[in-house]
Structure 1
Amino acid sequence: MDATIPFLVRKLNQQVPAAETHIDDALIALSSLMATVVTARRDLGGGQPAREQGTIYRLVKAQMALVDASGGMLRVHGELSSMARETAGLDLHECPSRAALDEPQRRAAG
């Protein structure tokens, strides 16, 4: 079993930050979409205000779902770090930085 622990640690060190990055990317994309929708409503006018408001409301709900997912990933990250110390006796002072993952590693982890 000891031989698999380093492999799993390496895999988790890639996958957890990649998942966090993907959630952030989705949140950025939704935020950009929100800005475009609201700008279009303001600049074009004459639309269907009730329908447009419903669309904006659903975008906000989608953003909040991603914020909740991001918080969940942060908790998972902390729990996994704690489990690594307890299970493998690893001395983890801090998790690997997302910036430490270069682009090919991000694509491979995704």
Structure 2
Amino acid sequence: MSKEITFTAARLARDVPAAEIRLDDALIAVSSLMTSIVTARRDTVGVPAAKGHATIQRLMKAQIALVGASGDILRVHGDLADIGQATAGYDLHECPKTARSDAAPLASVA
């Protein structure tokens, strides 16, 4: 296997999980924003229920787009694993769990 393939594989092993994490972070941020907006509308005296509805709909569209993008990146990840196996003979049954070591495991935040 050439050095070029090794370097490319290492870069992808870093960048793919990083993209997945960033999309998850964006989805969490948009979800938090949605909660804040709806809570503010509900808790602000004198604000009718219809007020801000168009804004909430736009934010929901952004959230749906992020979910779609996340699914696409996951499919790209699978495609790249297949290419790695076919091209370089990598046995990629398990990919790196995260792109950064400072990410808290799910069990610790639950």
Aligned pairs for 1:28-43 within 5 A: 28-43=28-43
Quote the Cα distance in structure 1 between the aligned partners of 2:23 and 2:92.
24
Aligned to 2:15: 15
Aligned pairs for 1:21-60 within 5 A: 21-47=21-47, 49-60=49-60
SS at structure 2 position matched to 1:101? coil
Aligned to 1:63: 63
TM-score, length basis structure 1: 0.86
Aligned to 1:102: 101
Quote the Cα distance in structure 2 between the aligned partners of 1:14 and 1:26.
19
Percent of aligned positions that are identical: 55
Q: Which has the higher contact order (CA 8 A, sep 6+)?
A: 1
Is the 8 Å Cα contact of residues 34 and 59 (structure 2) preserved in structure 1? yes
| Bigger mean CA deviation after superposition, 11-20 or 44-53 | 44-53
The answer on 1:92 being equivalent to 2:83 is: no
Quote the Cα distance in structure 2 between the aligned partners of 1:59 and 1:45.
23
Q: Any gaps of 5 or more consecutive residues in structure 2?
A: 103-110
Partner AA of 1:19 in structure 2: A
SS at structure 2 position matched to 1:95? coil
The answer on 1:74 being equivalent to 2:74 is: yes
TM-score, length basis structure 2: 0.86
Q: Which has the higher helix share?
A: 1
Q: Any gaps of 5 or more consecutive residues in structure 1?
A: 104-110
Partner AA of 1:26 in structure 2: A
